[in-house]
Amino acid sequence: MGRTSSTKEDAGALFHSLRSAYAATLVNLKIIDLYVGFAIFTALIQVVYMAMVGSFPFNSFLSGVLSCVGTAVLAVCLRIQVNKENKEFKIIDLYVGFAIFTALIQVVYMAMVGSFPFNSFLSGVLSCVGTAVLAVCLRIQVNKENKEFKDLPPERAFADFVLCNLVLHLVIMNFLG
C-alpha cells in the first residue's frame, strides 16, 4: 500500500522535474513547439475524418495531411537553427524522428489498403526503421560523453554509418519487388 503511493509520488515528482527542466527553455522555442503541436494535431484530425468518410479524392487528403506534416518538420528545423545548444545532435535527432515518422505513415497506409505485396511493405518500413537505428548508433559513437567510444574517430564512425546504409539500401532495392 505504501509502496504504490510512494510510486505515485515518485511519478509525480518525475513529472515535476521533467516539467521544470522544460520550463527552463527559452520563450521563442516554446512558441515554435506549440506551433509544431498544432500542426500535428490538425494532421491527425484530417486522418480521423478520412477514416470516417473515406478517402475518395485521395490527392486532396494527402495534400492536406502532408502540408501539416511538412510545416511541422520545417518548424522543427527552424527550432534547431535558432537553438544555441548542440546543433549536430539535434540534426541527427531530427533525422531519426523523421525516419520513424515515415515508417509510421507507411504502417497507417498499410492498415488502410492492405498488405498485399508484403515484401514491398516490409522493405519500406524496414528501410525507415533501419536507417533510424543506424543514425542512433552514429549518434552514440560520435557523442563525446560516451567513455566507451573515446578512441573511435568520428570520421570512422561516419564511414561505418555510410557503409551500413549502403548495404541496407541495396538489400531494400532487391527486396522491393
Partner 1 sequence: MATMPASASDLLKSFKLKTKQQELLIRVSILCLVYILAFITRLFSVLRYESMIHEFDPYFNYRTTLYLTENGFYDFWNWFDYESWYPLGRIVGGTLYPGLMVTAVLIYRILRFLRFAVHIREVCVLTAPFFASNTTLVAYFFGKEIWDSGAGLVAAILIAICPGYISRSVAGSYDNEGVAIFALLFTFYVFVKAVNTGSLAWSLASAFGYFYMVSAWGGYVFIINLIPLYVLVLLITGRYSMRLYVAYNCMYILGMLLAMQIRFVGFQHVQSGEHMAVMGVFFLMQVFYFLDWVKHMLSDTKLFQAFLRITVTCAVAVGGIALGLGMVSGYISPWTGRFYSLLDPTYAKDHIPIIASVSEHQPTAWSSFMFDFHILLFLFPAGLYFCFKRLSDATIFIVMYGLTSMYFAGVMVRLILVATPAVCLISAIAVSATVKNLTVLLRSKNKVVQTGSTKGSGGSKSSSKALLDQSQPFQKNGAIALLFGAFYLLSRYATHCTWVTSEAYSSPSIVLAARGAHGNRVIFDDYREAYFWLRQNTPQDAKVMSWWDYGYQITAMGNRTVIVDNNTWNNTHIATVGRAMSSYEDEAIEIIRSLDVDYVLVVFGGVTGYSSDDINKFLWMVRIGGGVFPVIKEPDYLVNGEYRVDKGAAPKMLNCLMYKLCYYRFGEMLTEYGKPPGYDRARGVEIGNKDVKLEHLEEAFTTSNWIVRIYRVKPPNNRWWLNRYKFG
What is the x/- site pattern for partner 1, positions 8-47, by CB under 8 A? Answer: --xx-xx--xx--x--------------------------
In the three-class reduction of DSSP (H, G, I as helix; E, B as strand; rest coil), residue 117 is classed as coil
* Residue pair 127/106 in contact by the 8 Å Cβ criterion: no
The Cα 91–Cα 123 span in angstroms is 25
Q: CB-based contacts of 115: which residues, under 8 Å, 6+ apart? A: 121
Judged by CB under 8 A, which of 25, 60, 86, 174 binds partner 1? Answer: 174
Q: Under rule CB under 8 A, how many of the chain's residues touch partner 1?
A: 38
Residue 149 touches partner 1, criterion: CB under 8 A: yes
Q: Which of 39, 103, 141, 142 binds partner 1 (CB under 8 A)?
A: 141
* Cα atoms in the 13 Å half-sphere on the side-chain side of 3: 0
Residues between 54 and 113 with contacts to partner 1, criterion CB under 8 A? none
Q: In the complex, what is the shortest distance from the CB of residue 137 to partner 1, in angstroms, rounded to a whole number?
A: 4
Interacting residue with partner 1 among 32, 78, 94, 129 (CB under 8 A): 129
